Amino acid sequence: MNFNIGLLMAVNKLARSTPWLHSVVLAYAICGLVVFAELMLAGWWIARRRAELPAVAAAIWTPVGMLLALAINQPITATFAERRPYLLYPNLLILAQHSLAPGFPSDHAVMAGSVTATLFLVSRKLGWWTALAALLMAFARIYVAAAFPVDVLVGLVLGAVVSLVGFLLVRRPLVRLLSFAGPTIFRPLITAGPRPAAKAPVKPAVG
């Protein structure tokens, strides 16, 4: 038995001995996207209050990077076409709903990894909280027997790499675009600071 299967079985054994956790972990494994949506909103709010354009750019890019990572993941999962644990090992304690969709890399882990990576660029403290949420998501997917450990590990790394590389490519034009938007009606989306007061016209000297 290799490490991947061994860890799956160990987590499943833990699931069997913790029935009081089933409903909580299953809810997070399925609906955890709500948590990451709130973390992305918190990232934008923090960046906006700091009024630092690179941080605002990272916060705005975070959901875009997440969608990009998920889009890139689709042909990869189709290529590998890995069956999920509950289809290969029916004797597992299965909490997840059955799906015929391939599981490598895990979409949930790709989402969590991409959001975590760019929120670190917004706020290190928020990034650590998001990393904790990502690890919990990875654990939850294994716990409910919806993913192998390698599925979530590769998913976390893939999501982080796609999101970070994408941001590096768009960072400069995005920051420049935000600087142009500063004096416009979109300013409240970029900063919580007051609009700079207009300079009074200089009166010509008399005499």
Q: Give the chain's domains with CATH numbers.
A: 11-190 (1.20.144)
pLDDT of residue 207: 47
- Which residues lie below 8 Å from residue 107, measured CB to CB, with a gap of 6+? 70, 73, 77, 155
pLDDT of residue 156: 97
Q: Using the 8-state DSSP alphabet, how is residue 105 labeled?
A: S
Question: Which parts of the chain sit beneath pLDDT 50?
Answer: 197-198, 200, 207
- Give yes or no for a cis peptide into 105 (omega within 30° of 0): yes
Two structure tokens written together for 5: 């299967």
pLDDT of residue 102: 85
Contact 62, 115 (CB under 8 A): yes
pLDDT of residue 101: 85
Q: Write out pLDDT tens, residues 45-66.
A: 998 888 788 889 999 999 999 9
